[in-house]
Structure 1
Amino acid sequence: MSPSSRVLVEICLDDLSGVGAAERAGADRIELCAALSEGGITPSIGTVAGALQAARRIDVNVLVRQRPGDFVYTAEEVEAMVADIRAMRSLPRADGVALGFVIGALAPDGTVDLPATARLAQACGEAPVTFHKAFDQVPDRIAALEQLVSLGVTRILTSGGAPSALDGAAELGELVRRAGDRVTILAGGGVRPANAAEVVRRTGVREVHLRAMEAVPSASSTASVYDTGTREVTSEAVVAAVVASVSEVAA
């Protein structure tokens, strides 16, 4: 498979050790978050700085989501996210490591909040911009795709509005067809080593997204209400298995 036809793998994580694990296993990019148990929110500036220091090759996309819950934001929340983006853009990183941002805002009726999304995208400057899975909530995803193209969004993370990328394969394929080379469709939702290649074959996507976690014993020997005895970290083996799976898909 030629470099231009490779299927790229993005790993969603909230553990700093996962940056190195994803890079060693051959992933192309991470989506750095905090509180994935809450669906993911903006990580701290220190966490972003640590990830950018750890990355030697892998690109780093940062989720910018001010709070859990719905994606309908107040003006004050949008300005807080703009401030986060600006602060993160000033952080140092290794040559060749791209910093991007993952954003998204909806109006109360579920359509894309164009003013808020434009404000966030503008704050990203020249950095790559991904519109996150709020996209799956919009009532007309084809229309939303065209709106996001007009805003200069780089990619859209979606499962085609279905519980998983395989369930939404038909719509994902249609989104890929309509997107062409204007915006990248990033397939996420239930992607695992056992089905990643099938997702690619059935949809035509050239990028997949997943959380490659495993449970490990807690480092503490003392249990508490905050410590169940295990915690979730990024599995190098799971990342490597997905990378190997999609690398076998014919160009």
Structure 2
Amino acid sequence: MKLEIIARDLYDIELINRSNADRIEFCSNLQVGGLTPTFFEIKNTFSKIPVNVMIRETNRDFIYSEDEMKLLLNEIEFCGKSNNISGVVFGMLTKENDIDIKHLKTAVSLAKEYNMTVTFHKAFDLINDFEEGYKILCDLKIDYVLTACGSNIIENITTLNKLKNIKGHTKILGGGGINSDNIDKVKDVVDEIHLGTLARENNSFNYPVDVLKINKLKKLITGG
């Protein structure tokens, strides 16, 4: 089972590379759920393990105007041309909290032009029908969906398990609210694990990434 760790800056990326983590999600402004890093940071990302970049300019919502889509596509293209980014992370919804298929298709198509993987982020937690939404992501050949299937991951174990058992193209990347008390249960109903605060000292984004802790968590989820 693969383990993805959130990085908030270039130093985090350096630290995570010293661990046994499998992948990095790179984003800024973690206090609002993560936004796009600066172009300078993206360009200067050096990592031996894959780095997926958050593409999200606002924490307002996940509804995109045409002008906002142009900005999002520009950021995807920048990541693609940087040649050091493995994937991009984004998500868009309609006003009714359904997946915005039109805009999503456009963004996925551009990312795939640069051979980057695509993760649909935690906007998925807000949609009306998880099974239908998951099938849409599979149809669009999205690689991962980062989700807790709602606001409380441990209360949504059954739903996560249902999605995993569909065995579609899109891998279930469990994330959001994972802690030392529930990680053992979550790992059994998802394909991969995504960690933020649990991978840090004092379980807080105010403290550094903890390499030894990451290695222990990797061992836990793989049964090694």
Same fold (TM over 0.5): yes
2:144 matched residue in structure 1: 155
From 45, 50, 54, the counterpart of 2:44: 50
Q: Is the 8 A contact 1:9 1:243 kept in 2?
A: yes
Encode CA deviations 1:101-132: one digit per residue, 9 max, x unaligned. 11100000000011111111111022110100
Moved more, 123-132 or 17-26: 17-26
Q: Give, in whole Å, the separation in 2 of the partners of 1:192 and 1:20.
A: 24
Partner of 1:112: 99
1:193–1:238: 8 Å Cα contact kept in structure 2? Answer: no
Q: What is the rounded CA distance, in whole Å, between the counterparts of 1:232 and 1:68 in structure 2?
A: 23
In the alignment, which of 61, 80, 88 is matched to residue 101 of structure 1?
A: 88
The C-alpha deviation readout for 1:209-237, integer Å capped at 9, x for no partner, is 0112336xxxxxxxxxxxxxx94332223
User: Counterpart of 2:74 in 1: which secondary structure?
Assistant: helix
1:18 corresponds, among 12, 23, 32, to 12
Structure-to-structure mapping, 1:58-137, within 5 angstroms: 58-93=49-84, 99-125=86-112, 126-137=115-126
Indicate the SS of the match to 1:245: helix
Please give the alpha-carbon distance, in whole angstroms, between the structure 1 residues aligned to 2:220 and 2:142: 28
Cα distance in 1 for residues equivalent to 2:128 and 2:121: 15
Give the Cα–Cα distance (whole angstroms) in 2 for the partners of residues 119 and 238 of structure 1: 39
Matched, 1:207 2:192: yes
Alignment partner for residue 27 of structure 2, among 10, 33, 36?
A: 33
Give the AA of the match of 1:91. S
Instruction: Give me the whole-angstrom Cα distance separating, in 1, the residues matched to 2:77 and 2:155.
Output: 37
Q: Distance in 2 between matches of 1:23 and 1:193?
A: 22
Cross-structure match for 1:195: 182
Q: Residue deviations 1:141-181, cap 9 Å, x none?
A: 111111111212111111122422x2211110001011x14
Alignment correspondent of 2:165: 177
Structure 2 residue 5 is matched with structure 1 residue 8: no
For this pair of structures, how many residues does the alignment match? 219
Map Cα deviations across residues 58-99 of structure 1 (whole Å, 9 max, x no partner).
110111012112101111101101001111111143xxxx61
Q: So what's the TM-score if we normalise by structure 2? A: 0.91
Structure 1's unaligned 5+ residue stretches are 1-6, 216-229
Separation of aligned partners in 2, 1:174 and 1:114: 22
Whether the 8 Å CA contact 1:17–1:234 is kept in 2: the answer is no
Cα distance change, pair 195–50 in 1 and its aligned pair in 2 (3 A): farther
Provide structure 2 residue ranges, at least 5 long, that are not aligned to the other structure: none
CA distance in 1, matches of 2:75, 2:184: 36
Per-residue CA deviation, residues 164-207 of structure 1 (Å, 9 max, x unaligned), is 2x2211110001011x1421011001223453232112x1x220
Does the residue aligned with 1:116 lie in a helix, a strand or coil? Answer: helix
8 Å CA contact 2:35, 2:57 repeated in 1: yes
Alpha carbons 1:18, 1:234 under 8 Å: kept? yes
Higher helix share: 2
How much has 1:136 moved relative to structure 2? 0.8
**SS at 2:59's partner residue?**
coil
Q: Distance in 2 between matches of 1:182 and 1:8?
A: 16
SS for the counterpart of 1:112 is coil
